[in-house]
Amino acid sequence: MSTLYNRYLQLKQEKCDVYYLFKYGIFYIFLDDDAKDISKLFNFKLTNLNASVVKCGFPASQLNKYLAYFRGSNISVKIIESTQSPVLSDYTYVYYKKCDNLIENIAKIDPDTLSVSEAFNTLQKLARESTELMEYRKAIK
């Protein structure tokens, strides 16, 4: 058995009423019974992870789109970035990703190359993104 599948089995034993979504390269995938259920509900194509386990999924770039579908269908999804990472709710996962993006954008700023108007616009953009992030954080609490 693969490490990924073993983690899936462990998680399902702990909490079986949740669908576990694993980051798998440039995709997010559901495994085994989760994959079968999600495939039926959302018409995802089932493929084989190995000889005995099926999977279905979507490109990582489409995560927000599919999380909205799952939420709209009242499906509880937990996201696992790697077999060693903690299990996060979809909202918490998106919040952390948004935080990472904001920090990356701040780190890319070179104040020595900005004009006064560019600096002002940059600060406005960062303030707007920070406000959106705080609102999102309130929604997940």
Kindly report, residue by residue over 55-95, the tens digit of the pLDDT: 999 999 999 899 999 999 999 999 998 767 677 777 888 88
**Sign for the pseudo-dihedral over CA of 110, 113, 115, 118:** negative
How high is the pLDDT of residue 134?
Answer: 86
Structure confidence at residue 73 (pLDDT):
94
Whole-number mean pLDDT of the chain?
A: 89
pLDDT for 83 equals: 65
The domain locations on the chain are: 3-89, 94-140
Residue range 18-37: average pLDDT?
A: 95
| Closest to 80 (Cα-Cα) out of 4, 15, 14, 137 | 4
Higher pLDDT, 1 or 4: 4
CATH class given for the domain over 3-89: alpha beta
